[in-house]
Amino acid sequence: MLNKEKFLKYLELILRLWIAYVLITNAGVGTLTPLKDLGLPPHIYTIIDSMWQTGFMMHLVKVIEFTTGLMLLFNFFVPLALIALFPVVINIYGMHIFLFKQYITTGLGMILVCGLLIYNHRDKFRPLLVRK
């Protein structure tokens, strides 16, 4: 029989692999697929194209998505990956809410998974919250 500790360990593994898959594929699709081929509404296309035209903003986001996806996939510095990833995930969900007008999306799932992973690694984050 599976005890609670083993269950949570397997659950974390599954969630880590899912979010790693989403991040790595999203970084690849977002980088390799021309924006016009994604079928975005015109107002969203303009915003995302503008971010690519800055020469660094979307490039940085895609590097963070890909790198943190690999880190989560290989269980390498998971707390560091979560710190780098969480602001990106918040903005992904923000775009889903404010631009696409969708509330139940992959972005929400990513926030929930990140929140659970942060909670599971809370002991590693505690020193960051100590007032000196």
At residue 33, the pLDDT reads: 86
The pTM score is 0.89
The percent of residues above 90 in pLDDT, for the chain, comes to 61
Tokens of 80: 């560091």
Q: Cα–Cα distance between 20 and 22 in angstroms, integer? A: 5
At residue 32, the pLDDT reads: 87
CA neighbor of 18 nearest in space, from 115, 100, 106: 106
**Please, what's the b/e burial string for 42-63 (b: 16 or more CB within 10 A of its CB; e: otherwise)?**
eeeeeebeeebeeeeebeebbe
At residue 29, the pLDDT reads: 87
99-119: per-residue pLDDT in tens? 888 888 889 999 999 999 999
CA distances to 24, 36, 45, 56 from 114, in Å: 15, 30, 27, 25
69-110: per-residue pLDDT in tens? 999 999 999 999 999 999 999 999 998 899 888 888 889 999
1-55: per-residue pLDDT in tens? 678 889 889 999 999 999 999 999 999 888 888 888 888 888 888 888 899 999 9
Residue ranges per domain, the chain? Answer: 10-129
